[in-house]
């Protein structure tokens, strides 16, 4: 059984990501956890002492959240064939990041699926703040789904790499298991620096090649250029249905969230974006 967390703020964008997850795993036996974390706009004294329920007081925020979660469950069940899917509603007074971390550990979650944009749906934002925080702190894979992406099976997955990641520590097994479900082809893209690969990079590439021997894949070495330019150009030449990258400290992904200039030069993922963690 695959266990997936589906965070929701009850926006259209959040439901779009939920719908994508349900379609993606329609043939798999799954446990979906619909998670909503709430923080009252005005803190009451009972919230500072713990949840109101613990004090025997009415918790209106929880009641509203639970009702909205049940409505979401009913909407999913009405729209999709979920015979292999179990839906669990979960509301909590907590930050979304902390609640996802807690439930992921407690329930042994396999991965998280969430929308890329906040409830405002601002088109210029690559990732909403909630998505950024979850990606930065999560130690399990996260699949971020753009609001405008119409579901397509991920037959082709683009995997950009600088070979600076120690793939023995990266959660590659999840990516390979994931790709087997849809018989996906992995496109391994590297932008070649003028100085070539150093010893560590060469070792990492060799390990990756060995790991992929039994999988449908192709390696690409592109001329020296900005990574964003390379990703955008590749997707124009070779259509893909998913982008996958490893979250490594000081990596492109880290810079993506802290350097505004990166957002301004046109990296707007139009396909779902799978972020793989580095294992401790």
**Tens digits of per-residue pLDDT, 133-151?**
787 788 899 998 988 888 9
Same fold, 2-145 and 156-245+257-267: yes
- Tell me: the pLDDT tens digits for 181-221? 999 999 999 988 888 899 999 999 999 999 999 999 999 99
> 175: buried, middle or exposed (CB in 10 Å: 19+, 13-18, 0-12)?
buried
Characterize the bridge pairing of strands 30-38 and 2-7: parallel
**Burial call 181-215: b when 16+ CB within 10 Å, e when fewer:** ebebbbbbbbbeeeeebeeebeebbebbeebbeee
Task: Say what the pTM is.
Answer: 0.84
Q: What is the pLDDT of residue 55?
A: 45
Task: Please tell me the class of the 156-245+257-267 domain.
Answer: alpha beta
**Which residue is listed with tokens 């810079």?**
255
- Tell me: the pLDDT tens digits for 235-266? 888 999 999 988 876 555 565 555 544 444 34
- The topology under which CATH files domain 2-145 is Rossmann fold (3.40.50)
Work out the pLDDT band at 25, boundaries 50, 70, 90: very high
Work out the pLDDT band at 109, boundaries 50, 70, 90: very high
Average pLDDT, the chain: 83
Q: What ranges do the domains of the chain cover?
A: 2-145, 156-245+257-267
Q: Report, as an integer, the average pLDDT of 53-69.
A: 71
DSSP state of 161: -
Rounded to 5°, angle at Cα 278 from 119 and 137: 35
CA distance to 1, 99, 145, 150, per residue, from 270 (Å):
29, 28, 9, 10
């Amino acid at each position: 059984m695959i266990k997936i967390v589906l965070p929701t703020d009850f926006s259209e964008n959040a439901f779009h990501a939920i719908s994508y997850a349900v379609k993606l795993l329609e043939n798999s036996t799954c446990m979906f956890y619909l998670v909503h974390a709430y923080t009252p706009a005005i803190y009451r004294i009972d919230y500072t002492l713990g949840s109101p329920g613990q004090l025997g007081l009415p918790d209106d925020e929880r009641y509203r959240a639970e009702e909205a979660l049940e409505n979401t469950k009913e909407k999913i069940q009405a729209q999709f064939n979920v015979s292999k899917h179990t839906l669990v509603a979960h509301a909590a007074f907590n930050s979304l990041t902390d609640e996802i971390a807690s439930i992921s550990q407690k329930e042994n979650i396999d991965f998280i699926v969430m929308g890329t944009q906040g409830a405002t749906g601002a088109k210029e934002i690559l990732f909403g703040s909630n998505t950024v925080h979850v990606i930065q702190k999560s130690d399990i894979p996260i699949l971020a789904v753009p609001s405008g992406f119409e579901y397509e099976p991920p037959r082709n997955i683009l995997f950009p790499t600088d070979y600076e990641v120690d793939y023995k520590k990266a959660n590659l097994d999840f990516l390979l298991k994931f790709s087997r479900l849809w018989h996906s082809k992995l496109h391994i893209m590297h932008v070649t620096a003028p100085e070539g690969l150093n010893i560590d990079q060469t070792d990492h590439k060799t390990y990756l090649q060995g790991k992929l021997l039994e999988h449908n894949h192709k390696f690409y070495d592109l001329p020296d250029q900005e990574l964003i330019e390379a990703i955008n150009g590749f997707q124009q030449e070779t259509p893909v249905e998913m982008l996958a990258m490893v979250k490594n400290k000081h990596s492109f992904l880290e810079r993506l969230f802290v350097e505004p200039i990166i957002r301004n030069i046109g990296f707007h993922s139009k396909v779902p974006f799978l972020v793989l963690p580095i294992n401790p």
